[in-house]
Amino acid sequence: MLRLLSAGESHGQALLAILEGMPAGLRVDKRIIDQELKRRQSGYGRGPRMKIEKDKVDILSGVIKGKTIGSPIALKIDNRDFSIDRLPSILAPRPGHADLAGALKYDFKDIRFVLERASARETAVRVAAGALCKFFLKEFKIAVSSKVLMVGGKTSESEIRHKIDEAKRKQDTLGGSFEVIAKGVPVGLGSYAQYDKRLDAKLAAAVMAIPGIKAVEFGLGAESANKMGSEVHDEIFYSKGNGFYRKTNNAGGIEGGVSNGEAIVLRAYMKPISSLAQPLDSVNIITKKPTKAAIQRADICAVLAAGVIAEGVVAFVLSDAFLEKFGSDSLIQIRRSYEGYVKSL
């Protein structure tokens, strides 16, 4: 139902996105989209690029007088650091980045052609598109939020800041984990009928597509592998006031690829950023001789930003599943279908 296509390079003129399938009649507030973009740029440990870019979105189509009209929505975020044609070639791939694999895949002799697109800078337009999806979900009282759980093995804010300062002194980087929660999701989104329709599979794919994410889990996740079934599965209850409900949510809101009416809870794990100020060993792709990896301006830690990006992609997937179940042309028609479904439960 929803489709998202992005374009643009890290130091190119602009980042672009086309969001197709958003229903007509949805009120859009550009100021809130810009606030989401600002959240993506925040967080202790971000790099100097965040001081240059002040991301603002331009909505080029699909919205008239503050409301969607059902046609594709075009988004643009200008890059202040538009310097792509003046930047030097890069010959030493960074371990952990797409540099070497991308250069070999496309037969490039300049790694810059890879890193300009593989850069996490592209996620800015995914956040902008995700903000539009949040507007849609809010119409049905569905809210998506995130929080940092851990950075470099530390969990308290003071310890995390100290760990980031330590990594900065060592010219190193840090990863960590974050949690995304979607509250108010109705039962019945997704499907068990085909593997590619399973909601958890779609959510996992969307979050794994964020640069640096190495693992995703739902509910108890990996911990459930160490427990008995009686300790894991959420018992089912019923009351006239609440309908079917659970007292626990170890499944993370999804069973058999279908939302079960509980909050959807997922956690993601991000590796340390691969651009190091004290670079690791590498090989020159032209001469094949040993060298140090290229040094690129980068963050020390971007776990908080990754959580914000994850909110956006989760909102996109949930909006897509919602539209698939309840229709996709007009907000009024969708609401009518949704209210009839809820009444029948």
Computed over every residue of the chain, the mean pLDDT equals 95
Closest CA to 140 of 180, 185, 182: 185
pLDDT tens digits, 170-183: 999 999 999 999 99
Letter string b/e over residues 295-325, b meaning 16 or more CB atoms within 10 A of that residue's CB: ebebbbbbbbbbbbbbbbbbbbbbbbbbbbb
The predicted structure's pLDDT at residue 1: 83
User: pLDDT, tens digit, for every residue of 200-234?
Assistant: 999 999 999 999 999 999 999 999 999 999 999 99
What's residue 52's pLDDT?
Answer: 62
pLDDT in tens, 60-103: 999 999 999 999 999 999 999 888 999 999 999 999 999 999 99
Which position has the higher pLDDT, 151 or 243? 151
How many residues are given for the chain?
Answer: 345
Question: Exposed, middle or buried by CB within 10 Å (0-12, 13-18, 19+), for 195?
Answer: exposed
Average pLDDT of the segment spanning 43-57: 76
Q: Is the pLDDT confidence value at 135 over 80?
A: yes
Predicted confidence (pLDDT) at residue 187 exceeds the cutoff of 90: yes
pTM of the full predicted structure?
0.96
Confidence at residue 288, expressed as pLDDT on a 0 to 100 scale: 97
What amino acid is encoded at 78 in this protein?
A: D
**Predicted confidence (pLDDT) per residue in 270-318, tens digit:** 999 999 999 999 999 999 999 999 998 789 999 999 999 999 999 999 9
Q: Is pLDDT larger for residue 339 or for residue 53?
A: 339
- What 8-state DSSP symbol labels residue 109? S
The answer to whether residue 158 scores a pLDDT higher than 60 is yes
Domain count along the chain:
1
pLDDT of 241: 84
Tokens of 164: 């980031």
What local confidence, expressed as pLDDT, does residue 83 receive?
Answer: 87
**Residue span of the structural domain in which 256 resides:** 3-344
3-state per-residue secondary structure call for 24-44: ECCECCHHHHHHHHHHHCCCC
Q: Which residues pair with 67 in a beta bridge?
A: 27, 64
pLDDT at 297: 77
CATH number of the domain within which 293 lies: 3.60.150.10
Q: How confident is the model at residue 105 (pLDDT cuts 50, 70, 90)?
A: very high
Instruction: Report whether 179 contacts 249 (CB < 8 A).
Output: no
Q: Does an H or E element contain 100, and which?
A: helix 99-106
